[in-house]
Amino acid sequence: MKDIKELLEVFEIKPNNISLYEEAFTHPSFNADAKTKHCDYERLEFLGDSVLDFFVAELAFKAHPELNQGNLTKLRASLVSRNGLSNYARKYEFHEYIRVGNSFNLELIKADAILENVFESFIGAIYLDQGLRAVKEIIIKVFYRDIQKYDEEDTIDYKSRLQEAIQSEHRESVTYEVIKETGPSHDKHFVIKVVFDGITLGIGEGSSKKRAEQMAAKEALSKKADK
């Protein structure tokens, strides 16, 4: 497990109360070994969830005057969903800083629910330790680029649509394979192909595996529609 101070340096945070950040990265299972109670991320998660919703909504509102209420809600939901927040947590390697108890036996990098919770608790800790302006600056740093480039099409689940289309004709499922992975851990770029029965149906690119898979599925559906 890495020292939480390393992560704070990435975000250029000089902590006033380091224990808040330690708590934000402590899984409830740690309490059993430490013989403590509520010394984990759950209360901070509650606070951080509200802070995130507010500021992401504000940023979306200002960045996209062309979107109506429903589309603004979709935009916010796509970013602060479990998938969205767990991917942001992986981008900054949050799994490397989480304290767990001896009974914990999951692989943290794949534990979406835990990564989502820790991301929210981290935001809660920043708010309490640094104040409203500082936490807003962090949220802008993490989310603003994705808010700006948001396209309503991003909310379409092309992978599910492709799977349904394939399974309406065959029993087998498609698979996704990474062709290329480049960039540092905080700024990855993936090229992924979707394959069925040894045949490449489509290729997609994106800043996350999920995004690249969706783009590969979209291309496959487009080719299928042209036939």
Catalytic positions: 49, 120
Give the list of residues 6+ apart from residue 42 with CB closer than 8 angstroms, or none. Answer: 28, 117, 121
Query: What CA dihedral angle connects 102, 105, 109 and 115, to 10 degrees?
Result: -70
